[in-house]
Amino acid sequence: MQYDLVVIGSGPGGYVGAIRASQLGLNVAVVEKSELGGICLNWGCIPTKSLLKSASVFEYLKEAESYGVKIEGETKADFEAMVQRSRGVADGMSKGIQFLLKKNKIEVINGFGKLIDNKTVEVKKEDGTSETVSAKHILLATGARSKELPNLPQDGVKVIGYRKALTLEKQPKSMIVVGSGAIGSEFAYFYNAIGTKVTLVEYLPNIVPLEDEEVSKQLGRSFKKAGIKVMTSSEVLSVDTTGDAVKAIIKSKKGEETYEADVVLSAVGITPNIEGVGLEEVGVEMENGKIKVDEFYRTSVDGIYAIGDIVPGQALAHVASAEAITCVEKIAGHTPEPINYGNIPGCTYTSPEVASVGMTEVAAKEAGYELKIGKFPFTASGKASAAGHKDGFVKLIFDAKYGELLGAHLIGANVTEMIAELVVAKKLETTGHELIKAIHPHPTMSEAIMEAAAAAYDEVIHI
């Protein structure tokens, strides 16, 4: 059958692009080798948030008396039940994607898709057979997988990646997490919260190193307070898995030391899934290990497009979705606005949560801006005090000359739900004074945004 568009991959880029293309009148098929919804839905964003919610509930129960609630008997974390719940949530969401694709009359072709030319995809089935599919346009949305380092080979038992961390048969008593980006920090928080002894190792001077330095240091303090051993400016040189425990040689400012743990989780980044999809055969141009595309995700080969983790840009689910929509709207003859990669929110679902958008303070200074910076601590927030979550703050960075919001950096309870306001503010070129005069409801955590803006202009009331 001849399709207008064939999408290879059904993650948050692939399935969203397929549905938007169908809405625009294109005849669409999706090729998927595994579960619908891709890594994010099945093995990333969604099941991890389920585990993190379980950890949050467990922590609430442990602290119940501080809220005036008495619980008789011992409170225990049922690790197997937590994992089972997370798998159930992911399975339910995957079935939801199946429903959406069917509703939008999109054909799902199971198998591994490979480019034959710019109009043809070969789909290899699990049973060894294959079929070819023709299309006017082909969108690559194949995603990424856990990155492996030569000195940290994953055996899936004692040295694991994020997929295995979601489905361990039993809770480890101790764990070394290597890498403190969103994935590493979230797993460090989860396992520590349910009673695993966690050591978090970060090569750079601060954890969550892409965040503003003040946020990174605050999360480091919160982690240490929670009992996580945080090792920055450190690296794992090697691991020995021959014994009952894993022995990791870690180099820090103190020198080389040996640490033991039941499991080592490698969370050092991701690798694009670009092998075997026919890129070299059809002549798709690469750049720094990713597919080179223009602002509408056209590759160097006419009729072939790429989005998500396999192209330059932030490797985030919502970025892949936005790129897919932009791409297919262009294919359908619309005039979409290119994505502004300077206004992409990032979230880390630890406790406290981290959320940010735009420039860090260091980046803004390096760009030559004269700055006005406002901070408002949640210790001064009535809602945060009532909720018992006073850790963290809101930090806003403005251009002193025009009042433009350059960056927003939040750490605290539920800040991942607050960041969208600041994304919209940046999109609409809102000034600091406009944020101050936008009345925020009381008592809410979001008041801290108004107060931080006011602090930048010496108008803050509550600190």
Name the residues annotated as catalytic. 442
What b/e string do you get for 422-447 counting C-beta neighbours within 10 Å, with b at 16 or more?
bbebbeeebbbeebbeeebeeebbbb
Cis preceding-peptide flag for 441 (omega within 30 of 0): no
The amino acid present at 121, given as its one-letter code, is V
Residue 291 has φ and ψ, to the nearest 5°, of: -80, 130
Token digits of residue 462: 């509550």
CB 289 within 8 A of CB 270: no
- Confirm whether residue 65 is marked as ligand binding: no
- Confirm whether residue 181 is marked as ligand binding: yes
- Confirm whether residue 113 is marked as ligand binding: yes
Q: Could you give the CA distance from residue 397 to residue 293 in angstroms, rounded to a whole number?
A: 31
- Confirm whether residue 88 is marked as ligand binding: no
Q: Could you give the CA distance from residue 124 to residue 122 in angstroms, rounded to a whole number?
A: 6
- Confirm whether residue 184 is marked as ligand binding: yes
For tokens 């994607």, the residue is 97
Q: Would strands 235-240 and 246-252 be described as parallel, antiparallel, or unpaired?
A: antiparallel
Q: Quick one: CA dihedral 107, 111, 117, 118, positive or negative?
A: positive
Residues 6 or more apart from 429 whose CB is under 8 A from it? 404
CB 142 within 8 A of CB 166: no
- Confirm whether residue 179 is marked as ligand binding: yes
Residue 244 has φ and ψ, to the nearest 5°, of: -65, -40
Q: Could you give the CA distance from residue 296 to residue 338 in angstroms, rounded to a whole number?
A: 7
CB atoms within 10 A of CB 371: 16
Element (H, E) at 394: strand 393-399
- Confirm whether residue 434 is marked as ligand binding: no
Residues 6 or more apart from 255 whose CB is under 8 A from it? none
- Confirm whether residue 358 is marked as ligand binding: no
Tell me the binding residues for FAD: 49, 113, 309
Tell me the binding residues: 49, 113, 179-186, 202, 269, 309
Tell me the binding residues for NAD(+): 179-186, 202, 269
